[in-house]
Chains A and B, each alone.
Chain A
């Protein structure tokens, strides 16, 4: 390996990792060049996280070798990884909210003189670091005052400050707006220039083509291949990821659009939603596009009754509905698949069947008692019809993959006979194969005459599945686009407030 010393900073050969009953990684190779952005791609459960955990010292590998700058290394602990020069930025940020930016960067290794922290030096060092990365931020501010994107930059600075040669970013853009994503990409560019290699994990394929130099695909714990991004097409990449050609990403729909089902008039919450009006018909799929923070989720919460509205009316099949609590929403037969399925949608450590019958528990009641047989039958029916991959309906939801978890949430709202189904970012963090299944479920809902609302920040998705797209900007409806007029440019113009040409 000595001959590659100059070019390759990190070389993995035949890395294996086994968990009881699961072969998580089998013979995985990975070569990271100095100063490159290397995308690591694969569906959920492909082994990306496991591989990164091995690199960052959270797991120990069972076999294979890791060479860093041509020397074989053992990464036993996170501290060892840091010492070698590998830093990881997790999807969930690990910052202390009440401490300042500088304190967070130098947490546990503050510049000291005889045991006393040298505050001035710490602030100066942090500021210099920010300058080097091209980040404009006061390092004396408490982290909790910063936006998520800014906090992430603190994480990056923290990672770089230990003199990392390889920085791993695990889905760094999942909670960023598109503008913030741009800033992140420019920081990645700066890191590259300084010879730092970035391993970039994302589910958004467009980002790979935007920012990465090379990519490596994993599937079912196996190494599939490494490609130059420039010489790879999106279809090839998807085929590598799922192991077959994906004929069509968005399945065709055959639904009849009927009467108006949901009508929203002048809805406001006094803060993030301002005078929103729209309607959704039976059998129609209406997409909600817009930047993160444009008030889409807030609007949906008002419609469902999860938050209190200040003014406006909500009519369902022509009749005004109260919507003061979530129970009003459920009584009006609205189903709400929330954006944060783990935090808001699921009872993670409870079994699948509990989750499915959670909302419509009355339907399995007889004489005020739960009928377990009926619950079992209902749950098994949904597991079958939605293709939920689970060993049993008694499996705890936490052990299912993201896509299957999402299907459990959908099953919950189907069982409660929802007539209006709101799906907020339904495919976030879900792999390509499961995405298509979710799209198929959406189509099925529409063809059963339900009114469907899909909030999505993925442009292709929202254009692929909607009959009509409503674009929101700063809490208001900025524009509506009919299917025949769908174009990325048009939607973006509404979303950012540019003038239509």
Chain B
């Protein structure tokens, strides 16, 4: 235990903690980005980077909804089914009912919001724990999808619809533009509106929130409605990307979204952390692909990385928060 070594450790540690305080989880993203840039020459190719962004769009949009639910102290496991329902439903409205695509999209988004609000009602008014309530809804909605589609994909969607999933404006993919817009709105609402404060307050201490005049039920119903809206939007992006409504697609969207939320550390109360979480997961996927790691091993690695990220975050916050 030489004093010099300890001192050096301390300053290095200080620098890391300073950078962490300033950048938070984005520091992890940056480090990962640099590592991958050195590890594989293909990584920095524009085509590859655009691909990364394109691939995370669906997950990130759904994760934005999950962020609000998690910040409010609840969890939503039904997002994947709801996303697929909205995506396939929209495809059916266009292909089977011959509806105008924009009207079909608006109806799908509205339906997602209503189903989300319904979930909120079940959680608040019927007082079913959100884990159970949304787990049940996950099954029920998946069943509805199969009933509606008879488990058959709905193909032949027009290009004017597919553009939302695979189109470009110049070099920029359309879904990533949508992604940026919804995250800016999501971050703004959380930080600069009374509703955003209410979400944080209810998530932190529902009793105190109620005694401060905040309607806990109304706030929770609203966050589930937001999650429903974002699930539907994710489902539309997915359907547009595949140019077809696939009843069997996106089954692990809920969990991927939650992984992005927790890897990002949404407990810090920032929507942008979730975007970082989704990007980190996208980079890891991409990196493992570029390094030609076996797809099965990729899953194993991703699983451990998710658990490790949250454990690291817990370790860090328990140590920085140990005042007295």
Q: Is the CB of B194 within 8 A of A412?
A: no
Whether A368 pairs with B204 at a CB distance below 8 angstroms is: no
Q: B213 near A326 (CB under 8 angstroms)?
A: yes
Which bracket fits the contact residues of A?
A: 35 or more
Q: Does B207 contact A (CB under 8 A)?
A: yes
The answer, yes or no, to whether A123 is at the interface (CB within 8 Å) is: no
- The answer to the question of A71 belonging to the interface, with a C-beta cut-off of 8 Å to chain B, is no
List of A residues within 8 angstroms of B324 by Cβ? 19, 22, 24, 45, 50
Is B151 close to A, CB under 8 A?
no
**Taking the complex as formed, is A215 at the interface, i.e. its CB lies under 8 A from any CB of chain B?**
no
The answer, yes or no, to whether B322 is at the interface (CB within 8 Å) is yes
Q: Is the CB of B197 within 8 A of A370?
A: yes
Given the complex, which residues of B lie within 8 Å of A372, measured CB to CB?
Answer: 192
A459 proximal to B (CB < 8 A): no
* Chain B positions 168 through 208: 1 when the CB is less than 8 Å from some CB of chain A, otherwise 0: 00000000000000000000000111100100110011011
A412 close to B322 (CB less than 8 A): no
Task: Say whether B197 contacts A326, CB under 8 Å.
Answer: no
CB atoms of B192 and A22 under 8 A apart: no
> What are 5 A-B contacts defined by CB distance under 8 Å?
A304-B211, A326-B213, A348-B204, A358-B201, A368-B194
B212 at interface by CB-CB < 8 Å: yes
CB distance from A408 to the nearest CB of B (A): 12
Contacts of A20 in B (CB 8 A): 322-323
The answer to whether A347 touches B205, judged by C-beta atoms less than 8 angstroms apart, is yes
Is B194 touching A365 in the complex (CB atoms < 8 A)? Answer: yes
A224 and B276 alpha carbons, distance in the complex (Å): 52
B48, CB-defined interface residue at 8 Å: no
Interface residues of A (CB under 8 A from B): 19-20, 22, 24, 45, 50, 304, 306, 325-327, 329-330, 336, 338, 343-350, 354, 357-359, 361-362, 365, 368-370, 372, 398-399, 412
Asked if B215 and A361 make an inter-chain contact with CB atoms under 8 angstroms apart, the answer reads: no
The minimal Cβ–Cβ distance linking A27 to chain B, given in whole angstroms, is: 18
Tell me the complex Cα distance, A347–B214, Å.
Answer: 13
Known: A22-B324, A346-B205. A362 touches B211 (CB 8 A): no
Contacts of A365 in B (CB 8 A): 194
Q: Is the CB of B200 within 8 A of A368?
A: no
Kindly list 4 other residue pairs between chains A and B, CB separation below 8 angstroms, not including A330-B212, A354-B200, A370-B192.
A326-B211, A327-B215, A369-B192, A370-B194
Q: Which residues of A contact B321 (CB under 8 A)?
A: 398
Query: Is the Cβ of B210 less than 8 Å from the Cβ of A358?
Result: no
In whole angstroms, how far apart are the Cα atoms of A39 and B269 in the complex? 43
Contact B204 A349, beta carbon cutoff 8 Å: yes
User: Are the CB atoms of A345 and B197 closer together than 8 Å?
Assistant: no
Q: Which has the most chain B C-beta neighbours within 10 Å: A20, A329, A344, A368?
A: A344
A359, B212: Cβ atoms closer than 8 Å: yes
Q: Given A19-B322, A370-B197, A346–B208 Cβ distance below 8 Å?
A: yes
* Residues from chain A with Cβ under 8 Å of B322 in the complex: 19-20
- How far is it, in angstroms, between the C-alpha of A230 and the C-alpha of B77 when the chains are bound? 64
- CB-CB < 8 A to A326: which residues of B? 210-213
Set of chain A residues within 8 Å of B207, measured between Cβ atoms: 343-344
Interface residues of A, dominant DSSP: mixed
Q: What count of chain B residues pass the 8 Å CB interface test?
A: 23
Nearest 8 A/B pairs, CB to CB = A330-B213, A347-B204, A361-B194, A327-B213, A358-B212, A359-B212, A370-B192, A369-B192
* Residue pair B193, A369 in contact (C-beta under 8 Å): yes
User: Once the chains bind, are B210 and A350 in contact (CB under 8 Å)?
Assistant: no
Is B211 in contact with A306, judged by CB distance below 8 angstroms? yes
Interface residues of B, Cβ cutoff 8 Å to A? 191-194, 197, 200-201, 204-205, 207-215, 269, 321-324
Known: A22-B324, A24-B324, A350-B204. Contact between A345 and B194, CB under 8 A? no
Q: Decide yes or no: A399 and B204 within 8 Å by CB, A354-B197, A365-B194, A412-B212 being known contacts.
A: no
C-alpha gap A348/B207 in the complex (Å): 12
Docked CA distance A19–B321 (Å)? 11
Pick the residue among A45, A329, A350, A362 that contacts B201 (CB under 8 A): A350
The distance in angstroms between the C-alpha atoms of A359 and B208, with both chains bound, is 10
- CB of B193 within 8 A of CB of A345, answer no
Complex CA–CA separation, A45 to B324 (angstroms): 9
With A347-B205, A368-B193 as contacts: A338 and B211 at CB distance below 8 Å: yes
Q: Among B193, B194, B201, which residue has the most Cβ atoms of chain A within 10 A? A: B194
In the complex, are the beta carbons of A347 and B208 less than 8 A apart?
yes
| Interface contact B213-A359, CB-CB below 8 Å | yes
| Chain B residue at smallest Cβ distance from A362 | B194
Q: Which residues of A contact B194 (CB under 8 A)?
A: 361-362, 365, 368, 370
Residue of A nearest to B191 (CB): A370
A308 to chain B, nearest CB (A): 13
Residues of B near A24 (CB, < 8 A) are: 324
Option from A348, A361, A398 in Cβ contact (under 8 Å) with B197:
A361
Write the chain B residue with the least CB distance to A358.
B212
**Which residues of chain B are near A50, meaning CB under 8 Å?**
324
Which residue of chain A is the closest to B197 with respect to CB atoms?
A361
| A118 CB to nearest B CB, Å | 38
The residues of A that contact B208 with a CB separation of less than 8 Å are: 343-347
- Nearest residue, chain A, Cβ from B320: A20
> Whole-angstrom distance between the alpha carbons of A358 and B202 in the complex?
11
CB of B157 to closest CB in A, whole Å: 38
Give the distance in Å from the alpha carbon of A24 to the alpha carbon of B322 in the complex: 13
- Residues of the B chain whose Cβ atoms lie less than 8 Å from the Cβ of A327: 213, 215
- Which chain A residues lie closer than 8 Å to B204 at the CB level? 347-350
Please measure, in the bound complex, the distance between the C-alpha atom of A329 and the C-alpha atom of B200, giving whole angstroms.
Answer: 22
Q: Is the CB of B200 within 8 A of A350?
A: yes
| Contact among A22, A343, A354 with B323 in the assembled complex (CB-CB below 8 Å) | A22
| B residues less than 8 Å from A343 (CB atoms) | 205, 207-208
* Complex CA distance for A354 and B209, rounded to whole angstroms: 12
Residues in chain A near residue B205, CB distance under 8 A: 343-344, 346-348
* B285 to A: closest C-beta gap in Å: 32
Chain A min CB distance to B36 (Å): 34
For residue B214, which residue of chain A has the nearest CB? A358
A19 to B269, CA, bound (A): 27
Instruction: Identify B200's interface contact among A325, A345, A347, A359, CB under 8 A.
Output: A347
Contact (Cβ within 8 A) B193 A370: yes
Query: Smallest Cβ distance from A448 to chain B, in angstroms?
Result: 22
